A and B are shown apart, each in its own frame.
Chain A
Amino acid sequence: MNKLILGRYFPGESLLHHLDPRAKLVSAIYFIALLFVANNWQGYLLLWAFTFFVMRLSDVKLKTYLRGVRPLIWLILFTVFLQILFTAGGTIYIDWGLITISKFGLINGAFIFSRFVMIIFISTVVTLTTKPIDLTDGINALLSPLKTIKVPVDEIALMLSISLRFIPNLLDETQKVMDAQRARGTTFGEGSLAQQMKKLTPIVMPLFVSSLKRAEDMADVMEVRGYQSGKPRTSFRRLAWRKKDTLSICGMVFLTIIVVLLRNEGVNYLN
Chain B
Amino acid sequence: MVMQITFKDVTADYQLGPIRSANILKNVNLALPTHSFTAIVGHTGAGKSSLLKTINGLLLPRDGSVEVGEIVITADKPKKALKEVRQHVGMVFQFPEAQLFAETVEKDICFGPLNFDVPLEEAKKRTKKALEFVGLDETLLEVSPFSLSGGQQRRVAIAGILAMEPDVLILDEPGAGLDPEGKREILSMIKQLHSKEKLTTIIVTHDMDDVAAYADDVVVMEQGTVAAYQSVRDFFSDTERLQNWRVDFPEARKLQLKVEEETGVKLPQICLTIDELTESLIEVGLA
Establish whether residues A176 and B98, one from each chain, have CB atoms under 8 Å apart when the complex forms.
yes
Can you report 27 A-B residue pairs in the complex whose CB atoms are below 8 A from each other?
A3-B17, A64-B18, A177-B98, A177-B99, A179-B53, A179-B58, A179-B93, A180-B93, A180-B98, A180-B99, A182-B58, A183-B89, A183-B161, A184-B86, A184-B161, A185-B83, A185-B87, A185-B112, A185-B115, A187-B79, A201-B101, A202-B101, A202-B102, A206-B99, A206-B101, A209-B146, A210-B98
Q: Which residues does chain B contribute within 8 Å of A176, judged by CB atoms?
A: 93, 98
Q: How far apart are B51's CB and chain A's nearest CB, in angstroms?
A: 14
**Per-position 1/0 for B78-90, Cβ under 8 A of A:** 0100010011011
- C-alpha spacing A183/B58, complex, angstroms: 7
For A63, the closest partner residue in chain B by CB is B18
Establish whether residues A184 and B17, one from each chain, have CB atoms under 8 Å apart when the complex forms.
no
A window 234-271: CB within 8 A of B: none
Number of chain A residues whose Cβ lies closer than 8 Å to a Cβ of chain B: 22
Q: Which residues does chain B contribute within 8 Å of A187, judged by CB atoms?
A: 79, 83
Q: Which residues does chain B contribute within 8 Å of A183, judged by CB atoms?
A: 56, 58, 86, 89-91, 93, 161
Say yes or no: is A186 at the interface (Cβ < 8 Å to chain B): yes
- C-alpha spacing A176/B172, complex, angstroms: 13
Say yes or no: is B287 at the interface (Cβ < 8 Å to chain A): no
Q: How large is the interface on B (under 10, 10 to 19, 20 to 34, 35 or more residues)?
A: 20 to 34
**Per-position 1/0 for A170-214, Cβ under 8 A of B:** 000100110111111111000000000000011101100110000
Partner of A181, one of B53, B56, B99, B146: B99
Q: Which residues does chain B contribute within 8 Å of A201, judged by CB atoms?
A: 101
Quick one: given A180-B98, A205-B101, are A185 and B16 in contact (CB under 8 Å)?
no
Say yes or no: is A2 at the interface (Cβ < 8 Å to chain B): yes
Establish whether residues A184 and B101, one from each chain, have CB atoms under 8 Å apart when the complex forms.
no
Q: Which residues does chain B contribute within 8 Å of A2, judged by CB atoms?
A: 16-17
B window 110-150: CB within 8 A of A: 111-112, 115-116, 146
Establish whether residues A206 and B100, one from each chain, have CB atoms under 8 Å apart when the complex forms.
yes
Q: How far apart are B86's CB and chain A's nearest CB, in angstroms?
A: 6
Q: How far apart are B159's CB and chain A's nearest CB, in angstroms?
A: 12
- C-alpha spacing A137/B84, complex, angstroms: 51
Quick one: given A180-B98, A184-B164, A185-B86, are A202 and B111 in contact (CB under 8 Å)?
yes
- C-alpha spacing A202/B115, complex, angstroms: 12
**Per-position 1/0 for B1-42, Cβ under 8 A of A:** 000000000000000111000000000000000000000000
Q: Which residues does chain A contribute within 8 Å of B146, judged by CB atoms?
A: 209
Q: How far apart are B165's CB and chain A's nearest CB, in angstroms?
A: 12
Q: Which residues does chain A contribute within 8 Å of B98, judged by CB atoms?
A: 173, 176-177, 180, 206, 210
Q: Which residues does chain B contribute within 8 Å of A210, judged by CB atoms?
A: 98
- C-alpha spacing A180/B93, complex, angstroms: 7
**Per-position 1/0 for A1-14, Cβ under 8 A of B:** 01100000000000
Q: Which residues does chain B contribute within 8 Å of A186, judged by CB atoms?
A: 115
Query: Would you list the 8 A-B pairs with minimal beta carbon distance, nearest first?
Result: A185-B115, A205-B101, A180-B99, A184-B112, A2-B17, A183-B91, A202-B101, A2-B16
Q: How far apart are B287's CB and chain A's nearest CB, in angstroms?
A: 47
Say yes or no: is B175 at the interface (Cβ < 8 Å to chain A): no
Q: Which residues does chain B contribute within 8 Å of A184, judged by CB atoms?
A: 86, 99, 111-112, 115, 160-161, 164
For B87, the closest partner residue in chain A by CB is A185
Q: Which residues does chain A contribute within 8 Å of B115, judged by CB atoms?
A: 184-186
- C-alpha spacing A183/B172, complex, angstroms: 13
Say yes or no: is B96 at the interface (Cβ < 8 Å to chain A): yes
Q: Which residues does chain A contribute within 8 Å of B17, judged by CB atoms?
A: 2-3
Q: How far apart are A131's CB and chain B's nearest CB, in angstroms?
A: 18
For A177, the closest partner residue in chain B by CB is B99
Q: How far apart are A40's CB and chain B's nearest CB, in angstroms?
A: 37
- C-alpha spacing A187/B56, complex, angstroms: 13
